[in-house]
Structure 1
Amino acid sequence: MKTLKTLSLCALSALLFVSCGEKKKEMQEEATEAVTAVEEAVVEAVTPNIVGVAAGNDNFTTLVAAVQAAGLVETLSGEGPFTVFAPTNDAFAKLPEGTVESLLKPESKDALTGILTYHVVAGKFEAAAVIEAINTNNGSFTVETVQGGSIDLSLKDGNVMLTDAKGAMSTVVIADVAASNGVIHAIDTVVMPE
């Protein structure tokens, strides 16, 4: 009888010990998840989204005005991730005189939206991944844009080149500008859908 009581006491102790160990493990997992969530929130708070990054860069003032006129601020501020091939002010300046002003008018909103979303790809593709995709696919890689058209990516003299639906080309002049919801690659020419 004494042995049975001793065994019962040992079994109860072992059960409590295991239960406490499992509870401790659960608490550690919950703490790790909480720390990860806080770290992600801090990174997101520190790094602005695509619109915030563009708005904070003097090279993208025309692009930001166009995004606002097209009503795409909320979309490009969304969760994403997005890869934006962002024309610089100089890229917009290459368009025929009066084009930008015309596109910014309310009656041109649909055309402007089509052009801007042609510069956006769903997913986050940093320069290294783009270059690898180009090299893996015999020197050319086609991406589908949010607008629905496609852009061919290739390499020339070590630079990533974009060829639009009309055959015009643009060069990535600044790669991997980080944003909380994706990445921006600055380009030197506005690309156009069909």
Structure 2
Amino acid sequence: MKTLDIAGIRNSYTVLFLALVIIIVSCKDNDNTVTPIEEPGVLDLIQSNSNLETLAALLDGTSLSQTLSGSGSVTIFAPNDEAFAKLPQGYLESLTEQQKLDILKYHVYSGNYPLINEIKQEAIISLHGDPLFMEIGQTHGDLLNGQAKFVSKNIEANNGMIHIVDVVLVPDKFGTLADNIYKRFDYRLLYERMEHTGMLATLEETGHRTLLASRNSTLGIEDYLNTTFTEEQWQEIMKHHILDTDITGFGPGTRTALATMAGDSVYLEVLESGTYKFNNFEVPLNLLKSSNGTILFEDGFALPDKHLGILSLMDKRFYFNTVRSAMAVAKMTGRLYNSLNNADEKFTIFALKNNAAGLNNLPTDEQGLANILKYHVLLEKVTAEQLQHNQSYTTWQGEQLTITKVGDTITINGEATITMSDLVGTNGVVHVIDRVIIPPSN
């Protein structure tokens, strides 16, 4: 009778068990060495998206494609094929390769820019260098440059992210004057006012105009002036913001009056440093070239003379600087600016340009200046047509001056001649004379 070899069986199971352990450990080692699947980059995702075929074709072979496939973090606001289809026929074909690259770079931001649930308006700098204007969480939805909607957001890649938009964006130099104020949310009200007054087409026409752009905050000018403008007046004011001249053509040393589309003028000085003085106020060199002209971003709000007080219309003209300083020393400005206690008072000023005869020989003390300069002011509004021949008028100083009219020539006291008449403001009129008139008592 055979006996069962218990020890042998135990040894066999031991060997089998060890073999299984080795196999299991080996399998685990093999699992650890499996290469993980690499996440696609921004360029990969663009090339694999059937709605971005036009964009992928434009990127092919450009230096930007290397940026989008590199290790650096980037965000692209990717126009879909429908966005490109909205462009005018033949637009892309009319561009040079560099222009196409400029447009593509304008859609790229260096770094991650996720769109999250927040309310903000901000400008970010594109890879091209021009700003992109983000309006997130607004009542009108999320917009880019005031017009592009987000079809898809926050598509993540291993080197950044993609937001798909429904409009092709263009850098400032490709946009019109109208385009470039509309996409800037701080100037949107100016765009809307131009549109409402029928002036928008002018900002879209081919040409070399200058637009004086005022911020949204200054469009409340009616409240500041405690008045209400009619639609006709608003149109005139908007025309006053448009010049038929491109001011970038003026160099240092320039001192000139520039006609606006309203027929009034604004006043430009270019200092030797290259700094601009606009209506006698120094402004930062904040000019923007557009496809059909230049935008000058101003801090204030330009108004035609008829909506200004007479001192304000003198203030904006550089050729009154000397006499304006003298009037301040003589403490005449408070009354002429119409303080609250004389709001209905009207004036006529016989004003002296910087080169007027005798201006540099005026007294320097307050009393002496006031005695002479108040003799140049009537306490009533009298236009050139209303001035009567051989008529005497009582001045603010208290003494009288006499007017002589021969044809179109008007003289005062037989000495000073009116060289420019009827600068009409809200509280009076200014006539320019060529020399100082001295009170009889002097």
Same fold (TM over 0.5): yes
TM-score, scaled relative to structure 1: 0.65
Q: Which residue of 2 aligns with 1:160?
A: 142
- Deviation (angstroms), 1:158: 6.9
SS across alignment from 2:112: coil
Partner amino acid for 2:114? Answer: E
Unpaired segments ≥5 residues, structure 1: 1-34
Aligned partner of 2:165 in structure 1 is 187
Secondary structure, counterpart of 2:51 in structure 1: helix
Distance in structure 1 (CA, Å) of the matches to 2:139 and 2:62? 35
Residue of structure 1 in register with 2:56 after alignment = 64
The residue aligned with 2:65 is 73
**Residue 60 of structure 1: how far off its partner (Å):** 0.4
Q: How many angstroms does 1:55 deviate by?
A: 0.5
The residue type equivalent to 2:167 in the other structure is T
- Distance across 1 between alignment mates of 2:155 and 2:129: 24
Q: Which residue of 2 aligns with 1:94?
A: 86
Query: 1:124, 1:102 → 2: CA distance?
Result: 32
Q: Match of 2:19?
A: none
Question: Are the equivalent residues in 1 in contact too, given 2:92–2:100 (CA < 8 A)?
Answer: no
Note the residue ranges of structure 2 that are not aligned, 5 or more in a row.
1-31, 173-442
Contact 1:54 1:60 in 2 (8 A): yes
Task: Please tell me whether the aligned partners of residues 70 and 109 of structure 1 are also in contact (alpha carbons under 8 angstroms).
Answer: no
Which of the pair has more CA radius of gyration? 2
CA distance in 2, matches of 1:59, 1:159: 23
Q: Structure 1 residue 115 and structure 2 residue 103: aligned?
A: yes
Give how far 1:173 is off. 1.1
Between 1 and 2, higher relative CO (CA 8 Å, sep ≥ 6) is seen in 1
Question: C-alpha separation between the residues in 1 aligned to 2:69 and 2:106?
Answer: 17
Sequence identity of aligned pairs in percent? 32
Distance 1:159 1:69 in 2: 35
Measure, in 2, the Cα distance between the counterparts of 1:178 and 1:55.
14
Could you report, residue by residue, the CA deviation over 1:144-191 in whole angstroms, capped at 9, with x for unpaired residues? 00100001110345742111xxxx621111001111110000000001
Q: Tell me the C-alpha RMSD between the 2 structures.
A: 2.2
Other-structure match for 2:126 = 145
For 2:156 and 2:106, the matched residues in 1 are separated by 20
Tell me what 2:152 maps to: 174
Q: Which has the higher strand share?
A: 2
Please show how residues 2-151 of structure 1 align to structure 2 within 5 Å.
Answer: 42=36, 45=38, 47-68=39-60, 70-103=62-95, 108-128=96-116, 131-132=117-118, 135=119, 139-151=120-132
Using the alignment, how far apart are the partners of 2:62 and 2:82 within structure 1? 20
1:51 alignment partner, SS class: helix
